[in-house]
Structure 1
Amino acid sequence: MTPANPPSESGLPALPGQEIEGGASDWSLLIETLSRALAERGLDAGSAVVLVPYAQLMDVGRRAWSTHHPDGFAPRFESSRNWAASLQPFMPGATDLSMDMARDSLVAAAFIDRVAPARADAELRSVMVVRLVEAARQLAPLAAAVPPEQRMAWAESVRLDLLPGPASLQWEGLVATLALTWASTSTYATDVLWSPQASPGAGAQALVILQGFQTDPLAAALVAHWGERALNLSWDVGQPSSAEASGRTLHACDDAEDEAQRAAACVIARINQGHQPVALVTIDRLLTRRVSALLHGAGVAVRDETGWKLSTTHAAAQLMSLLRAASPHASMDDVLDLLKQATRWSEETVLTLEQLAREAGVSQWRAAARTASLEHALPDGLSAILEGLQSPRGLVPWLDALAQALKAIGLWDALQRDAAGQQVLQVLRLEDGASRELSDIGETLPDPAAQRAAGRRSLAALTSWVRDVLEGATFMPHGTGDASVVILPMAQLLGRSFAAAVVPGCDEVHLNPSPEPPGSWTAAQRELLGLPSRETLAQAAASAWQALLCMPRLDVLWRTQELGEPVMPSAWVLALQAAHGRNGIDPRTPTTLVSAPSARPSPSAGDVLPGALSASAYQDLRDCPYRFFALRQLRLVDAPELAAEPDQRDMGNWLHAVLRAFHEQRGDSRPGAEADRAALDRIATETAAAMGLNAGEGGAGFLPYEVVWPATRDGYLEWLATFEARADRPGPRFVQAEAVMTANVGPWKLYGKLDRVDAQDSPEGPIPFVIDYKTESRKTTMDRLKEPLEDVQLAFYAALLPDDNLRAAYLSINDRPGSAATESATKLVEHTEVLEAREQLRAGVSHDMARVAAGHPMPALGEGRVCEFCKARGLCRKDFWSLA
């Protein structure tokens, strides 16, 4: 229950004024009390101004008065800002605290540049700007409650005691001092309420303050200013009746999604019962947005009185996509994200560029212009637009350039057609001539050294400023017609009538009976400045909760776990459970789904055959015919990822390229271990740079491979020395690497790329020695040849060669020795039965491909380890097969 003369936000007693005993639990009693008090003073109702705690109560109060007094003039129900705006329009000065992040961030940056030491780095400076704006805005209500001519004295009275003692808190002290100075030297829109225009007896004959759950410092100060002409009215929330208590329903939900769905169902159930409007009380803003989306999807009219950050809207995301794409370090994903939203280029152009970039593995936009396969696919004019946003300039030229870029890529019109987009253009001053307002700030700063905020800035600095401005603005969607659901904070239930209320998010994390005071002020500083203490905030929260309990119908929801961790309900909810709250039945209507398992697919496609068969394609056919059908005949393959960081596959390709260049340059010269080591290191560095895997392109992702490279290199050279210096006969000689070969098996064409082919001397002459590099685990490589005649890859490579005699082996290359003490980091695993395996493979290819060509079924086997990582699993629907 709010006292008749509650403490102000400062935590100090409210300023004196005439009090009216006996608050009102509804408008009827309050209107009666107000009309009686005015009559006792001999005042007409039309000569009084009633200040309400928040703007939504203005219309509610006017309707309540007209209901009880349909004849005669009504008091003026006003909020403090609305009353001030009706008396005089307000334009903030160049350095005033304006509550507009675009202006305030520039002024804050200028103040910090003027007084902070030069050693403050950019990141610290950015944090200090945000902290300064937040601190000044928290002090603004207190400063506005002091008459303008007394503000400097008020600030001086607390300045010395405000500074922290330890030297380690110098930055906190600097921000606090600057915030106090800024707040005390600013003018405010409500300053006109201290002027003769609004003086007692001139602007109105009586001022009535309708208190909220938490006293407004300005309202408390105006009570003292108006003296005997001021009246204080407070709401008596009262105690909920037994009927209201019986209308409470408690819902314990599984997780956040379950809570959102159940909250939306509760709202819809109340509407279907004819209880509207319904108040959807926002406690967890993210959860409330999810509930709102569900309600919109169900066709429910919703009015949101809280809004959400402008930075979370689609319009803001479109603007930020342009700034990210313009960065010199932009990834290909960043540019593609911009292209998919811009309207200048066709969808076909964007898809072609994306496909070619994925095929070429280009992850950085700056590398696209250097890639021959992408040169013809680059969108016309895009590079010039992005490069035009990279050179430093002043803020006003930046905003002009940003507006021109938005128009050039076709996003400007889309932003103008969207309500959130219009606000984005407005708050950033991107419309014609609007940026002049921000240039005036820099021109009127008192110290030229402080004008750095309006000076030349980089693209990164502009992006940071834009992000702060969008984060600091609130988007309020415009509702049309009467809404069945109103989203509002708990404190704004005061004085409003709703048929029902639904309150999701009532867990211990989001609904804390003792809320944390905002800002970084200490308890002593809060008391000194007059900011609300934790106790004051707790009292206001308890009063709001008590008002909520007076709702005739109430649904309270909370989640029992968050990310796998258990979550308790709020202490207030526990009190309801212990009293007379009842657990609610899930209002969602269950839907019975009839199980309809699919049959195991068994297609045939004899008229769709690949032009040539690779080792991996034939392996697919042997593993699972349906896999061959999907991946090889229909060619349904995943698009390559545009990952900026190297992965294991990139490292395998890099190692293959390094060894190819090493052996092609070395030939059969065998210069010695030191020369080979130096050559490998040089080639490894050059190859990594050419493939974009170095720190400039791949970031830190290549560092783990650079760390293990010395061990990998030394293990390979140790094996190579042993391989080339055999005791029984001369070792094999390198012939070629990455050899592309083809062969025919009946009517079927085979093709493949052999990592390396050596020549091994024998009594019958040199014979080929096929070597395939493997960077997988040693065990995996050894398992390939446990059943030699079952291995496909080496037998397939052998089938590409016409020689009657040959050798083949896997070369396992790792950075650590094998499990056996005698194993080195690199080990040759030879296929001892490769010739017999080759003949069996040729016969198998002829038989299997003939069956495919004849249209035989290609069933999905659905067995073995192959299914665990199969790319066609979503097509064969293995997880939905019938047991039969």
Structure 2
Amino acid sequence: MTAAPPETTPLDEHTWARLADQVGDWAQARGVVLRDAIWLLPFTALLPQARRAFARRGGWAPRIETVATLAPQLGPRAPAAAEAMAGDTVTRRLQVAAQLRGVDQGGWARRDPAGFAWAVAAVVDTADEWQQALAAQPPSGRAAWVATAQARLAGGTGPGDQERSLAGYALAWAARSIAVQPPASDALYEARPSAWIGLRAGGTVPLVQAVLDEAAARGVPVLWLDQDPPPERLFEAAATLPPPQEHLADDAEGEARAAAVEVLDALRRHEQGAVALIAQDREAVRRVRALLERAAVEVVDDTGWRVATTRAGARAMALLRAARALSRPSAGAEDLWLAWLKDDPAFASQAEELRVLEALWRGRRLSPARRDQAQAFWERAQSRLAPLREPARRPLAEWLSALAALWLDDPASAAAWRDDPAGRAVLAAWRLEAPWNQGAGWPALAAATRFTLDELISWADEALSEASVVPDHPPQARVVITPLARAMLRPFVAAVLPGADEQRLGGHEPGVDLIGPALRRALGLPGVAEAAEREALAFIQALRLPNLCLVRRRAEGSEPLGPSPLLQRLVLARGGQALPVSTLAPPCRAWAVQPVAEPAVMASGARWPDSLSASAVDAWRDCPYRFFAQRLLGLASDDELDRLAEKRDYGDWLHAVLLRFHEQRAAGARLDDDRALLRRCAQEVAPDGRLAEGEMLPYLASFDRLCEPYLAWLQARDQAGWRWTAGEIDRQRPAPALGAMGLHGRLDRLDSGPGGAVQVIDYKTGRADELKRRAKGLEDTQLAFYAALAVADGATVGAAYLALDERDGPRWIEHADVLADAERLLGELAAEFDRARAGEPLRALGRGQACEYCDMRGLCRRDHWAAPPDTAAEAVTDSGGDE
């Protein structure tokens, strides 16, 4: 076995050429036929560099591979066995859980669910480590190695018995699995190349070390190319490299901005070549990526995306959470249902029905027809979730069959999942179709595993969190996100490493370990110290990259953060000489101080609505800018779906009760009959189902006080010759005075009276005094507008408010001469609209009570306006007086 002297020099365009020359010179000196030799690299991203170096050198080149690329070429893999460990972590956990429940008859899982879940995860992690250790052993020596490990595990008693028992169980499972299904890498031990060449960078790969040692023992020429510094002087060798730049930020957001600025600067300095964004802190890298994409910089990610963070993953989980909310409705269930409905391909063609349903859930008043439309749509939507309605418990195979039927039976829905890489990853992670659901042992495992809906959701979320999808890499992308251990020896022109602080770089904390440090040392298994050494080697390899910038934050919230221990070791190796430090200097601009004036927009080119409602007219009269924002721009704020009961909810319920009462009331009914019918209608009309039980009780209590006075008023009205005609009427009509615009709205009630007269009645639960003050001339927009809507129903039209919530009974508040006021209102509106279309600006008034509660206050920036001159003068006078 030959070892080339270690090299710790800055990476440049000649590094791989020197490595290729070393291989060629060694082969020539040893008489090795280079075309029959195999050069194993640590990971696949290095293959193009090595192959390109030999192509430039000329002559024969060795076979350049990694373990992952070479093993499948040396022979077919052994067929999958049901008792072998599954290839993914989530399925392994199902296997372990089933086995542990079988041993303990499920008692542990019922008695201590959290402890059982911890044991399952610990066994899976430990079995994976045992399997990797066994794969690195020559097949002939595995049995002896397993016997030694089992003997050491069985040797102790006392504290830690359970952990040793679980570790022994994991070892037996890994040994049994590797016996019935040998790893594909076993073919490397059988390969007979003319020579083996290994590259050590960032530490040794145990399997490669074992294969090359076994080959050397047989007399096969072996060359090790060492790119790591000697273990005894790691940072002394690194101290000779050019020092990296250190960039300090105040917090996480500042760190992300600083890293993004460094990447953009590197792209400006280098017109060609890739810049590495090293993903030591994934959260910080996500922020940096968002900032780079905002700057139109394309980014590729070597590690891919977790499927749980993709839109397809979110859509899949939204369906399951919506099903749970349907089985057990709770506060905020509508949010979950809307998240599912808005993203499910099955409802893509029903946007209008979905919009009406959302309006209903947000408490907006809808006509009976629109309510029926929303309810019918919701019933159809619920039927789609019917296969997922929760029984007590059912096999996982049945849950997944129901999901597959929902998504894949419909061709359009199936195409939406299969044509999207992330969608295919969801189908694979949940094993919803072949070939993923046909692996050895999976059908039996899925049939034996029984889940509640909550357990299914936990399993599904875990499966998506473990799976990843690597998007296509656009060739023009010049920023590459890569882990620290995969950045070494790659031809980057610059590198940026955010997260170089004491928590994220070099701050190792021991995790769950069933094996224990003593047994690790005895068996030669890597532990915390070895993991720390590998990270240090990867960091030193990163120091070889050109133009490395280390970015870190000074604090995590209120907790100060120091530099990484690896950074401190580098400074000590440099004799205490600090690294060059910079901070982000945000660009500064000189702005002239200018007062903020009331906005005034031009609406001459805007698309005006086809018809106006009473609320639109109110918005225009309150503030033209508010009308512009709400009606011409279409801006509006949505009510919270999860909210408390309000007076408006009581008013909506009371409207529905009175509508039902009058629809069922017989002409000339007696008072006793009216009383019985009204109370029955109140029982039949349920309050808004989105409100928690009992929230409406304070409001409903006032209904008993309302009944008798209202019925007495109604009997008197009957005697006067007035009759209820219709209620909750959606009405539209043209308005010639407004040109192309018409009128639309909903009338609470229409009554007919003597001589064909018609009265528009608007129910109110507010204060009668305020209503009486409003119902004077054009101060009152609403009744005049409703009269204009109803004028086609009779020559004589009146309009009045009926204040229902008064202690002494309903108060009749009539708008005198309402038709004349309606005609005048429409005429003045037409003149104002004409001026606005001609170019008169729509100003924000910023005065009165309407401004205090306006949803558009932030848009017009009312709180930032300069004070009017008279207000400023008063403020100066008051200030002087105080002094």
Map residues 303-382 of structure 1 onto 2, 5 A cutoff: 303-324=300-321, 329=326, 337=339, 340-341=342-343, 349-361=349-361, 372-374=372-374
**Cα RMSD after superposing both structures:** 6.1
Query: What CA distance in whole angstroms lies between the structure 1 residues aligned with 2:165 and 2:650?
Result: 54
Tell whether 2:207 aligns with 1:218: yes
Amino acid at match of 2:507: S
Aligned residues: 780
Counterpart for residue 479 of structure 1: 473
Deviation at 1:553, TM superposition (A): 1.0
Structure 2 residue corresponding to 1:251, chosen from 209, 226, 247: 247
Counterparts in 2 of 1:401 and 1:843: CA distance versus 1, 3 Å = closer
Match for 1:198 among 189, 196, 201? 189
Query: Who is 1:867 aligned against?
Result: 851
CA contact (8 A) 2:94 2:449 kept: no
Deviation of the 1:512 alpha carbon: 3.3
* Corresponding residue SS for 1:410: helix
Specify whether residues 536 and 863 from structure 1 end up closer, same or farther in structure 2 by C-alpha distance, changes over 3 A only: farther
User: What residue in structure 2 maps to residue 88 of structure 1?
Assistant: 75
1:78 corresponds to: 65
User: Larger deviation: 251-260 or 588-597?
Assistant: 588-597
- Give the alignment of 1:137-216 within 5 angstroms: 137-146=128-137, 147=139, 148-150=142-144, 152-160=146-154, 165=159, 176-187=167-178, 191=183, 198-199=189-190, 203-204=192-193, 206-216=195-205
- Are the equivalent residues in 2 in contact too, given 1:108–1:132 (CA < 8 A)? yes
Q: Decide whether the 8 Å contact of 1:502 with 1:556 is kept in 2.
A: yes
- Alpha-carbon displacement from aligned partner over 1:610-664 (angstroms, at most 9, x marks no partner): 99986x7787566445546765x76957475582665546754588589989999
Give the superposition deviation at 1:356.
Answer: 1.9
Asked if the contact 1:302/1:483 (under 8 Å) is kept, the reply is yes
- Residue 236 of structure 1 corresponds to 228
2:874 corresponds in structure 1 to none
1:695-718 deviations in Å (ceiling 9; x for gaps): xxxxxx726838xx5x8888x69x
C-alpha displacement at 1:484, in angstroms? 3.1
Cα displacement (A) at 1:176: 4.4
Establish whether residue 408 from structure 1 lines up as the match of residue 427 from structure 2.
Answer: no
Structure 2: how far apart are the matches of 1:344 and 1:861?
46
Q: Is the 8 A contact 1:788 1:831 kept in 2?
A: no
Superposed displacement of residue 377, structure 1:
5.1
Structure 2 unaligned segments of length 5 or more: list them. 10-14, 230-235, 328-332, 673-677, 718-723, 730-736, 750-761, 788-795, 837-841, 869-883
On the 8 A contact 1:771/1:808 being kept in 2, the answer is yes
Note if contact 1:795-1:841 (Cα within 8 Å) is conserved in structure 2.
no
| Residue 482 (structure 1) shift | 7.3
What are structure 1's unaligned runs of at least 5 residues? Answer: 1-17, 444-450, 670-678, 694-700, 725-729, 756-769, 775-780, 812-826
What corresponds to 1:492 in structure 2? Answer: 486
> Does the Cα contact within 8 Å between 1:301 and 1:483 map onto a contact in 2?
yes
Assess if the C-alpha contact under 8 Å between 1:192 and 1:198 holds in 2.
no
Show the 5 A alignment for 1:608-647: 623-624=622-623, 626-627=625-626, 636=634, 638=636, 643=641
State whether residues 136 and 183 of structure 1, in contact with CA within 8 Å, keep that contact through their aligned partners in structure 2: yes
- CA distance in structure 2 between the partners assigned to 1:731 and 1:270 by the alignment: 78
Q: Verify the 8 A CA contact 1:318 1:338 in the aligned structure 2.
A: yes
Q: What are the superposed Cα offsets for residues 150-192 of structure 1, whole Å, 9 maximum, x if unpaired?
A: 464255234436898379xx6x677645433322322288746
Match of 1:24 in 2: 7
- 1:645 to 1:236, Cα distance in 2 relative to 1, 3 A: same
Q: Deviations over 1:835-864 (max 9, x none)?
A: 8x9789999989776643442777421135
- Structure 2 distance, partners of 1:751, 1:500, is 64
State which of 498, 511, 514 in structure 1 corresponds to 2:507.
Answer: 514
What is the SS of the residue equivalent to 1:53? coil
- Opposite residue 242 of structure 2, the aligned amino acid is E
2 CA distance for matches of 1:123 and 1:683? Answer: 50
Question: Which residue of 1 is the match for residue 695 of structure 2?
Answer: 705
Query: 2:829 matched to which residue of 1?
Result: 852
Give, in whole Å, the separation in 2 of the partners of 1:810 and 1:865: 24
Instruction: Return the letter of the residue paired with 2:278.
Output: V
Deviation (angstroms), 1:357: 0.7
TM-score (norm 2): 0.68
* Distance in 1 (alpha carbons) for counterparts of 2:463 and 2:671: 65
Counterpart in 1 of 2:421?
419
Aligned-pair CA distance for 1:513: 1.9
CA contact (8 A) 1:794 1:808 kept: no
Please state if 1:436 is matched with 2:438. Answer: yes
Match in the other structure for 1:56? 45
Inter-partner Cα distance in structure 1 for 2:41 and 2:22: 16
Mapping 1:461-860, distance limit 5 Å = 463-479=457-473, 481=475, 484-509=478-503, 511-519=504-512, 521=514, 524=517, 527=520, 532-560=526-554, 570=564, 579-584=577-582, 599-601=599-601, 623-624=622-623, 626-627=625-626, 636=634, 638=636, 643=641, 648=646, 652=650, 691-693=688-690, 702=692, 705=695, 709=697, 773=765, 851-855=828-832, 859-860=843-844
- Secondary structure, counterpart of 2:273 in structure 1: coil
* Deviation, structure 1 residue 137: 2.7
Output the CA distance in 1 between the equivalents of 2:611 and 2:277: 63
Deviations 1:673-720 (A, max 9, x none): xxxxxx99x9999766x6324xxxxxxx726838xx5x8888x69x96
C-alpha contact 1:213 1:543 (8 A) present in aligned 2? yes
Assess, with a 3 A threshold, how the Cα gap between structure 1 residues 340 and 617 changes in structure 2: closer, same or farther: closer
Taking the aligned partners of 2:684 and 2:481, their CA distance within structure 1 comes to: 60
Aligned residue type for 2:509: E
Distance (whole Å) between structure 2 residues aligned to residue 54 and residue 164 of structure 1 = 43
Q: What CA distance in whole angstroms lies between the structure 2 residues aligned with 1:845 and 1:877?
A: 34
Distance 2:602 2:268 in 1: 49
Q: Residue deviations 1:7-34, cap 9 Å, x none?
A: xxxxxxxxxxx68473123656656666
For residues 769 and 577 of structure 2, the distance between their equivalents in structure 1, rounded to whole angstroms, comes to 72
- Report the more deviating stretch, 521-530 or 99-108: 521-530
- State how far apart, in whole Å, the 2-side matches of 1:650 and 1:525 are: 70
- Equivalent AA in structure 1 for residue 227 of structure 2: W
- What amino acid is aligned across from residue 312 of structure 1 in structure 2? T
Q: CA deviation at 1:865?
A: 5.5
Q: Structure 1 residues 218, 154: closer, same or farther in 2, change over 3 A? A: farther
Under a length normalisation based on structure 1, what TM-score does the superposition of the two structures give? 0.68
Q: Which residue of 2 aligns with 1:287?
A: 284
Which whole-Å CA distance do the structure 2 matches of 1:845 and 1:94 have between them? 82
**Other-structure match for 1:758:** none
Given that residues 785 and 791 in structure 1 are in contact (C-alpha distance below 8 angstroms), is that contact kept between their aligned partners in structure 2? no
- Taking a change above 3 Å as real, the CA distance of residues 668 and 638 of structure 1, as seen in their structure-2 partners, is farther
Identity %: 25
Partner in structure 1 of residue 263 of structure 2: 267
Partner SS for 1:491 = helix
3-state SS of the aligned residue for 1:502? strand
Q: 1:807 & 1:422 partners in 2: Cα distance?
A: 60
